Amino acid sequence: MEEYENAKSLFDYRMKLPENNSNKWNNFKDYLEFYNMLDCEPLVEAISNSFAKFYELFELDPMLFMTLPSIAFK
């Protein structure tokens, strides 16, 4: 129940922001986009860091390969 109340409070706060505020939500879809990004942003950061280290250590860009075996072969 506490998690629901916190989410509802955030939703109500963002809905009441002025129209010219970039953090304003206009509907529940805006909240869902925000909620879904909570999982995506850390994943993107982790993948970016992993790829940067892979390039630093092996001098290969994983984005140029289609599969893990093709990276290993190279």
pLDDT one digit per residue (tens) for the chain, 74 residues:
999 999 999 999 999 999 999 999 999 999 999 998 888 888 889 989 998 998 999 998 888 888 888 888 88
**Alpha carbons 71 and 26: distance in angstroms, whole number:** 45
Which amino acid, one-letter code, is at 24?
Answer: K
Which amino acid, one-letter code, is at 5?
Answer: E
The predicted pLDDT at position 8 comes to 94
Domain range for 42 is 2-73
Q: What is the pTM for the complete model shown?
A: 0.56
DSSP assignment letter at 62: G
Domains of the chain: total: 1
The predicted pLDDT at position 17 comes to 96
